[in-house]
Amino acid sequence: MRWLTQTLAVTTMNLRSLPQRLAASSVAVVGFACVVAVFVAVLSIAEGFRRVMERGSSPDVALVLRTGSDTEMSSGLEMDATRIVKDAPGVLRTAAGPVASAELFVVVDVPKRATGTDANVPLRGVEPAAFEVRPEIRIVEGAPFRPGRNEVIVGRAAAREFAGLEVGNRLRWGESEWEVAGIFAADESIYESEIWTDVRVLQPAYRRGTSFQSVYARLETPDAFQRFKDALTADPRLDVEVMREDDYYAEQSRVLRSLVHTLGNLIALLMAVGATFGALNTMYSAVAARGREIRRSAPSASRARPSSSR
């Protein structure tokens, strides 16, 4: 029990002397607290991005891209291919036809509210079935865009972040002028950062002819995915890659999350090294101060020590 007694004695002495070295101790504590705070903040950013990317995606929605495409921007599908995809087994069908939307994805420049500098915002051309594929989409202000017109609807997050996206405003993108018809919500998913319009209007505005980049299809059940995928990958007329919507967005977020984690760990490591050196410097300063006290008290101790007998 001797070691426990010594530990308690040293701890008690440190606690009693804490008011005398409060400022120096606070520097070390604040330094390490800052390291922890930065590390937690970086991890929160990565986790928040993952949740936003995956929120709103569904396992019973399939995404079809051209083989070898890792994003919609790099994909390309002809109209005949999109028709084959919509007629594939496993796609949910209603009285209006298959619940599938062939879509076009471009990027436009919109000024930020805070800084006024231009930033890239996705402009997605969709077919009418897109609102059945993604039933969480709902208009919260204004009205839906009318097919065949240069009208857009804006995601709620994009409307908050960027200037000029209020209902009734007109903007010029590509070779056309567009009117903001409404603002939509999407359960705080990634779609709220996008702008939507009629794909048949977007194609000529960006000289895309009759081409598309992706097809989103709602399946009869999540279990119908494999049947749908096998039918498309076995069709010699197609050269496509099929994946679930939630898997696609999880993969899209993985790269950025890895980058954020790497940078966050590096920053936290550098801050931890700095905080450690700060704590060591504080400790050495405290030891040096006590060393002067010890040296001043040493002569008194020598005089008080009894002399040895000859």
Structure-token pair, residue 265:
């760990």
Position 249 in a domain: no
Position 177 in a domain: yes
Cα 241–chain centre separation: 24
Q: What is the pLDDT along the chain (310 residues), one digit of tens a residue?
A: 677 777 776 667 666 666 666 666 676 677 667 777 777 777 676 666 556 555 556 789 999 999 998 889 899 999 999 999 999 999 999 998 999 999 999 999 999 988 889 999 999 999 999 999 999 999 999 999 999 999 999 999 999 999 999 999 999 987 789 999 999 999 888 899 999 999 999 999 998 999 999 999 999 999 999 999 999 999 999 999 999 988 888 777 676 667 776 777 777 677 767 767 666 666 666 656 555 554 554 455 445 555 544 4
Position 15 in a domain: no
Position 276 in a domain: no
Position 20 in a domain: no
**Structural domain of 160:** 58-244
* Helix 245-304 and helix 22-54, axial crossing angle in degrees, nearest 10: 170
Position 78 in a domain: yes
Q: How many CB atoms lie within 10 A of CB 171?
A: 17
Position 186 in a domain: yes
Strands 151-155 and 195-198 come out as antiparallel
CA–CA separation, 250 and 267 (whole Å):
25
Domain count along the chain: 1
Position 118 in a domain: yes
